[in-house]
Amino acid sequence: MSKRNKLVKFAELLSYPNVYENYDARNPRLVGEHGREVDLRGRWNAEHFKQEQPLTLELACGRGEYSLGLARAYPLRNFIGVDIKGARIWQGATIALEEELPNVAFLRTRIEQITMFFAPGEVSEIWITFPDPFPRKSKVNRRLTSAHFIAQYRKILRPGGIIHLKTDEPNLYDFTLETVAAEPDTTLLYHHDDIYREPLPFPELELKTYYEKMHLDQQKTIKYVRFQLG
């Protein structure tokens, strides 16, 4: 994608009513439609969605395929796709506006800052779909299912909140199982190292992202972990 195309998309995001962006890592305020500053921590349902429904995050959402798919399938839930890449978010946000999906929004920020934008207990579920596996041991804390990130999720998830990981990376799959086993007050609900080998246990797994389709074309197996924080 050319630099000009990216700049056009970044400019368009400022006019989107379903996109919020953070430009200052020290400040939890977000910039929304037409550059309006907002602070939505603890108020996403009341002030953006205007509807009190369970809130689900998709972290490292990319083009937002999973957020969009979940929003279509579950109109009585609210969804927010989170990513730092504005050009990718633009694609998902554009589709959401075209389809008039009122229960999905997008947040452009670094996942490391997630607790700045959501209050304790505000989030019901988290989906992590095909994240960067960060294979080097020196970057273990950057893996989105590391103990470091799970500690952050605990601060925003309601008691009993569920986390989902979908990946094609066997090392990240094994690492996640090990982390969940070592984490106190954490329950492994389900896991499978090849989800399409047999009938899917959950309808949400039918959804496929751009990267998942690409991985399946390469004959890779798709893995899934579902666990709960107490």
Q: What domain count does the chain have?
A: 1
Whole-model pTM above 0.85? yes
CATH number at 84 reads 3.40.50.150
Could you count the other beta carbons within 10 Å of the beta carbon of residue 183?
A: 18
Whether residue 18 lies inside any domain: the answer is: no
**39 is an active site residue:** no
130-153 per-position pLDDT tens digit: 999 999 989 999 999 999 999 999
Whether residue 143 lies inside any domain: the answer is: yes
Residue 221 per-residue DSSP state: P
139-197 per-position pLDDT tens digit: 999 999 999 999 999 999 999 999 999 999 999 999 999 999 999 999 999 999 999 99
Catalytic option among 132, 168, 193, 194 = 132
Whether residue 3 lies inside any domain: the answer is: no
Given a contact cutoff of 8 angstroms between Cβ atoms, the answer to whether 16 and 97 are in contact is: yes
Whether residue 24 lies inside any domain: the answer is: no
Whether residue 140 lies inside any domain: the answer is: yes
Whether residue 177 lies inside any domain: the answer is: yes
Which range marks the domain in which residue 64 is found? 39-229
In 3D space, the residue among 132, 126, 201 whose CA is nearest the CA of residue 167 turns out to be 132
